[in-house]
Structure 1
Amino acid sequence: MSERFAEAAVRLAGIAGLWFGWSPDAFWRATPAELAAVAKAAGGDAGTAPPDSGTLARLMEAFPDG
């Protein structure tokens, strides 16, 4: 295993643990397709249009910053 691969794998395992709650064992048992599917689901649908100004205004009113 090259050092470059090892560093990337450790970083990706850490991200999977932080974002998805995966244990190291779950990460190493997952296929690349499974990891990609979970990452896509966590990121939402990239094909969805961004919210319009009315939606943003309602969200800002419902969830003020301060």
Structure 2
Amino acid sequence: MISLNSMSRTCSLCGKTSIVRVSRKKKMSKYNPTCKKRKYPNLQWVVLNNGKRVKACTKCIKKIAKTK
């Protein structure tokens, strides 16, 4: 079963989803443990040529603009 929360945060054109990012903070000569952060793609509502409204990442929006 697919949750609605994860479906709303994916690009409907390329399928790009979130990633987990870990930042490493250095103090003196050692790395301190830091928490993991989830980064989400920059999704925008776009109207396609066929009239459908979909969520697409900005990279896909730029590709659509070039092909028009």
Q: Report if TM-score (shorter chain) is over 0.5.
A: no
TM-score category, normalised to shorter length: under 0.3
Larger strand proportion, structure 1 or 2? 2
Larger helix proportion, structure 1 or 2? 1
> How does the TM-score come out when normalised to structure 1?
0.23
> How does the TM-score come out when normalised to structure 2?
0.22
